[in-house]
Amino acid sequence: MSCFVPISGGGTDHHAAVALETEKLKRRVIWCERAGDDRWRQISFLYRVADRFGSRIFDHSFCRGEIQPTIGCSTGSCCRCRPDVFAYEQQVLELLPKRVDASGYCPFFNLVRKNCGIYGLRPFACRIYFNLGPTAHYCRNPNDTTLQLFDNLKPHLERILGAYWGGFGD
Ligand code: SF4
Ligand code: SF4
């Protein structure tokens, strides 16, 4: 099961800053698509704008109260899924070592440290995924803002990252 699975009743209040940053991210992804034919530069740009979105939205997310500077998130429960990937990302992740077990966590999640074991290579979807709801429930159940953002970006991302694949390994 991928991370971006809609859950009924997931809608929550929106902070104005989240809406602003969401619009900026959409615009930047579209700019990226128009920025030239060099696919690798486009991919690099995409991941940078996703990380910039994350750094700006973090203070407005539930994650802010859960993530400690040195030890990260105490649960990492949002990684209890298969990360959403596009064709290019699926190919890259297939080359990496992965855990095989029945934990339900992403095969790249470090179960001991409770963080992402491939942080620098994590997919676009993981980079923009934050709990934008009021409680820990929304760590694993994305609210409407998160779902709409990903759905809106998908067609633009597909032109650069290839077809949307779903959850890695699904
Ligand atoms: S979404 Fe939840 S589990 Fe994931 S990093 Fe944020 S607080 Fe931690
Ligand atoms: S790739 Fe990393 S951030 Fe994404 S779900 Fe897996 S462990 Fe979590």
Per-residue pLDDT tens over the stretch 63-96: 998 887 777 788 899 999 999 999 999 999 999 9
Mutate to test the pocket of ligand 2, among 2, 126, 140 (most ligand atoms within 8 A of CB): 126
10 Å Cβ neighbour count for 22?
Answer: 21
| Residue 20 token pair | 């602003």
- Residue 2, beta-bridge partner list: 82
Residue, of 6 and 150, whose pLDDT is higher: 150
Whether the Cβ atoms of residue 118 and residue 108 lie closer than 8 Å to each other: yes
Q: Which residues contact 99 (CB under 8 A, 6 or more apart)?
A: 105, 107, 108, 109, 111
Distance of CA 167 to the CA centre of its chain: 12
CA of 122 relative to ligand 1 center, distance in Å = 15
Question: For a pLDDT cut of 70, what percent of the chain falls above it?
Answer: 91
Q: What are the φ/ψ torsions at residue 112 (nearest 5 degrees)?
A: -80, -50
Residue 119: pLDDT over 60? yes
Q: In the beta sheet, which residues pair with residue 110?
A: 115
Mean pLDDT confidence for 152-161:
94
Position 6 pLDDT exceeds 70: no
Return the pLDDT at 8. 38
> What length is written for the chain?
170
Question: With 70 as the cut, is the pLDDT of residue 4 above it?
Answer: no
Digit-coded pLDDT (tens) for 23-35: 999 999 998 877 7
Q: Ligand 2 pocket, 108 CB below 6 A?
A: yes
Q: Whose Cα sits closest to atom 1 in ligand 2?
A: 122
